[in-house]
Structures are given as C-alpha cells and as structure tokens.
DNA sequence: GTTGACAACATACCCGGTAGTATGTTCATC
DNA sequence: GATGAACATACTACCGGGTATGTTGTCAAC
C-alpha cells in the first residue's frame, strides 16, 4: 500500500504489484522468491502478475527502476543549490540515507540488481535489459563521486584513493538497508536523526573537520 | 585449491568441496547455486558432494563455519596484546579487512548466511542448525563492539550511538567483499595498503584524531 | 438494453530444472 | 576375497516459470 508518490506513478494495480514484489524480493531475494509468493501477498494469482509483466526478471527490473527513480527525484532539488561541494554532498547524502530507510524494500532490490549485474549472474537477454538500468545507477553514483572530487579540490575533504573512498562512503550511506529495522512509533525526525549520524560518520571518514550544524 | 590453512583443515577432498562451494555461492548466491554447479566446478558429480554432506544447507553451513573460524584464528593473536583499546581495534580491524579480501569467497557466504538468518528465510530445522553459527558470529562482532565502547570510555573515540556506530564500522570493514576485485600481479603489500585506507576511513569516522603510523 | 469487444484478472496445465535417493562401480586395506 | 570408503550413474518427486484458456465486469456503439 501507501506508496508515498503521487506523480510518476503507474496505475494503482501495477503499483500494488510493485510494492508486493519489492517486499518479497527484500525478504527472500530474487532467486528464492517465486511469482506465486508475490501473488499470494496480493491475495491474487499468477495471472494478475503475468498480465502486467512478461517475466519475473521484467518485474524485478521494474522494481529496480522505480526504486532508483525515487532516489533521483529525491536529490534533484539539491543538485543546483549554490553551496560548496562539501555542503551539497552533505545534504544529498542525508536525503539519500533517509531514502534508504523509508523505501527500504525497493532499495534492497536496487542493491541486488547491481550485485546480480556485477556477478554476471544473468542471461544475455537480461543483461541488455539491465544494462540501461545499471548505466543509470552508475550515473547516480557519479553525482556523489564528482562531488567528492570537487570537495577534495576545494580542500574541504582529505582522503587518498578516490575510488576506494567513494566505495566506502557509498556502502556506508546504503548500509541502513541491511541493519535498519523500524521501531514502533518512530517519527520522521527519528529517522532523520539516524541519517544524521550516518552522514556524520561518513563525513569524518572523508576527513571533514566541522561537525553537523 | 590453495586453501592457505594447514591445521584445522578437514581432509583434502572435503577442502576442495568447500572451496568450490564457496566460489559458487559467492558468484550466484545460495538459492541460485545448484549442487550440480558445485560438482561441475569440481569436475565431479553430485555423488561426491552428497557423500560428504547430507544436504545443500549443510554444505552451506560448513562453508559458513569455515569462513568464520578463519577470522577467529586470524585475530586471536591480537586479542591479548597490552595495547590500548583503540590500538587493538585498529590492528584487529586491519587483519579483518585483509581477511575479507584474501578469503572473499568464504566471507560472502558468511554475509549471506547472516542475511538469511535476519530475513528468516530458512526452514525451522535450518534455523536451529544455523543458530549456533549465528551466535558465534555475533560473539565475533561483539569483540569489536566491546573494543569500541572501551575506546570511547578511554576518550580515544567519539561517536553518538554505539549500536549505529558499530553497524557502520562493521559494514565498512566488510565492504571489500562487495567491491574488491583482484588485480593482476597484486602483492600482499598492495592488499594491506587497501586495508589501511579502509581502516583509516573507519577510524576517522569514529572520531579518532591521529592518522596511521 | 443488448451485444460485442476488450481489459483484468483466475484456472488449469506443461515442462525444465533441481534437491535428494537408490544403486552400481572401483580401489585400497586388512 | 571381503569389506567399506569414495565416488559415479540413474532415477524420482516436486517446485516454479511460463502459457493457454476460461471467466467477469465495464463501456461503447447501435
């Protein structure tokens, strides 16, 4: 239910399928999730799913795409703020972490999708279908990476190897998809507080002096 | 082949099976790996594997166990050095990261095993078999966690929530299992250098002042 | 207000792959 | 030369992806 996205949303039936699929893929992983599992969660049958998606990997890819687009839309407003690179990075990182927490089901699918691609555990047809998604994911990652390089040139960050630093930071920011679990009565401020600590850890790791405002 | 562990090693036939299984599980994940895949990598058939292991999950559990025991043995010599907590943590963290790189196949299985347990995606019988492994894994993690707490009490580290800090640090130290890929002609010193940068990132994230010696 | 057409599913079925088993086969060791 | 370990071979049972076909509601045209 409650996909907190009005615009850019496909019809509600597909949305329900996406949500259910994301949950199942999150809980059991791609390979261990059957189409019947997803259908069962919808109180429906395979017929409904195969009416909208041509294959299991097609469904997975759509969950992947949707999760990623949510991230793009979340950080979009911040990309052209006049701030310095380090500050833009901080703001975007915080938004990103909050996204990881609030849309956890989808983000784990994104993660597994990247993993599947890196491992090459896909059929040739799937690889071409995935290629554009992976490409788009890489460009998303580049946004953060470029800011890191810029911030270092500004003298606001100090680290050695850019590639390694970017990997470490990215996994740090994504890590809530693994260890976060929702608490009863948790507010948006609580989540933002967690995000603040994650970003603070990353910033210190990147050699940024001052704490968070 | 080349399991760089002499002692504590089961007979060589089982060792080859473990190694092959670790590779397959790393490349495709547990669910997507078939027993025939493992057998194929051994130039053998299922018969060989089922002669030594009673089930697929049993094999997986043994890879899990073996990978974890390697970690225990690696850090064991450092546990009772006279150093301060922050210094012991640094040394153990470095060893741990190097372990993640050099025994990557096994460590990814350990990771997936923990994941499977957290997701609850196991049958009741498997859960009890896994329980002791997970427990042992938790105690391994506690070693690092306790050192974090001690180092903070010493005034050598500064962070807010211990649980969050530990999660962030642990995923940072484990992250090479995801992004590291071996380069041709890479030496042990190269790997240690990578480890140094990972640990440096984590230490800074934990609010430790001085750089690495 | 009936019919026809189509979307949105459900039902029933097929079939390949895979975990696990049952049964050889070989070789060493006593 | 008998016995058992260490496999290979052959087979079964079942699950799950995909398909083919039926069913229901809606909406437009006449």
Look at residue B1 and tell me whether its pLDDT is greater than 70: no
The closest alpha carbon to A132, from A104, A145, A113, belongs to A113
B136 vs A179: CA distance, rounded Å: 18
CA distance A31 to chain B (A): 6
Residues of B in contact with A28 (CB under 8 A): 31, 119, 121
Which of A16-21's residues contact partners 24+ apart within 8 Å by CB, and which partners?
A: A16/A42, A17/A42, A17/A48, A17/A49, A17/A52, A17/A53, A17/A59, A18/A62, A18/A63, A18/A66, A19/A105, A21/A59, A21/A60, A21/A63
Judged by a CB distance cut-off of 8 A, whether residue B207 touches chain A is: yes
Q: How many CB atoms lie within 10 A of CB A54?
A: 9
The pLDDT value recorded for residue A10 is 59
The pLDDT value recorded for residue B123 is 78
Mean of the per-residue pLDDT values for chain B? 92
The pLDDT value recorded for residue B10 is 61
The pLDDT value recorded for residue A5 is 35
The pLDDT value recorded for residue B2 is 37
pLDDT per residue as tens digits for the range A82-108: 899 999 999 999 999 999 999 999 999
pLDDT per residue as tens digits for the range A187-198: 999 999 999 999
Q: Name the more confident of A119 and A199.
A: A199
| CATH number for the segment(s) A56-205 | 1.10.357.10
How large is the average pLDDT for residues B43-60?
97
The pLDDT value recorded for residue A161 is 96
* Cβ pair A9, A19 in contact under 8 A: no
Look at residue A177 and tell me whether its pLDDT is greater than 80: yes
Domain boundaries, chain A: 56-205
Q: Do A171 and B168 touch (CB under 8 A)?
A: no
H-type helices in chain A, by residue range? 12-28, 35-41, 46-52, 56-75, 85-102, 104-119, 124-153, 162-174, 176-179, 188-205
The pLDDT value recorded for residue B110 is 98
Look at residue B4 and tell me whether its pLDDT is greater than 50: no
The pLDDT value recorded for residue A8 is 46
The pLDDT value recorded for residue A16 is 97
Sorting pLDDT into bands at 50, 70 and 90, what band is B200?
very high
Look at residue B93 and tell me whether its pLDDT is greater than 60: yes
pLDDT per residue as tens digits for the range A54-70: 999 999 999 999 999 99
Scanning the structure block, which residue is given the tokens 């995801």? B178
Look at residue B112 and tell me whether its pLDDT is greater than 90: yes
The pLDDT value recorded for residue A6 is 35
How large is the average pLDDT for residues B171-176?
98
The pLDDT value recorded for residue A2 is 36
Domain B58-205 annotated CATH 1.10.645.10:
no
Q: Do B201 and A197 touch (CB under 8 A)?
A: no
CA of B33: nucleotide with nearest C1': C18
Minimal Cβ distance to B121: which of A32, A200, A207: A32
Q: Which of residues 44-73 of A touch B (CB under 8 A)?
A: none
Sorting pLDDT into bands at 50, 70 and 90, what band is B5?
very low
The pLDDT value recorded for residue A37 is 98
Q: Which of A48-57, A114-123, A126-135 has the highest mean pLDDT?
A: A48-57
CA of A32: nucleotide with nearest C1': D16
Judged by a CB distance cut-off of 8 A, whether residue A209 touches chain B is: no
């Amino acid at each position: 239910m409650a996909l907190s996205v009005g615009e850019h949303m496909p019809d509600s039936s597909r949305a329900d399928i996406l949500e259910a699929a994301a949950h199942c893929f999150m809980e059991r992983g791609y390979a261990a999730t059957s189409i019947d599992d997803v259908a069962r969660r919808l109180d429906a049958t395979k017929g409904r799913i195969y009416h909208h998606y041509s294959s299991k990997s097609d469904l997975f890819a759509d969950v992947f795409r949707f999760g990623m687009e949510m991230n793009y839309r979340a950080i979009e407003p911040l990309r052209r703020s006049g701030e310095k690179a380090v500050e833009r990075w901080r703001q975007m990182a915080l938004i990103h972490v909050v996204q990881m927490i609030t849309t956890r089901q989808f983000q784990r699918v994104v993660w597994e999708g990247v993993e599947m691609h890196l491992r090459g555990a896909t059929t040739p047809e799937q690889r071409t279908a995935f290629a554009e998604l992976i490409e788009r994911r890489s460009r998303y990652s580049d946004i953060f990476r470029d800011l890191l390089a810029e911030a270092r040139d500004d003298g606001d960050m100090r680290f050695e190897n850019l590639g390694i630093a970017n990997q470490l930071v990215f996994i740090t920011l994504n890590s809530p998809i693994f260890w976060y679990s929702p608490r009863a009565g948790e507010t948006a401020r609580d989540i933002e507080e967690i995000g603040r600590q994650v970003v603070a850890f990353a910033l210190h790791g990147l050699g940024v002096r001052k704490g968070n405002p």
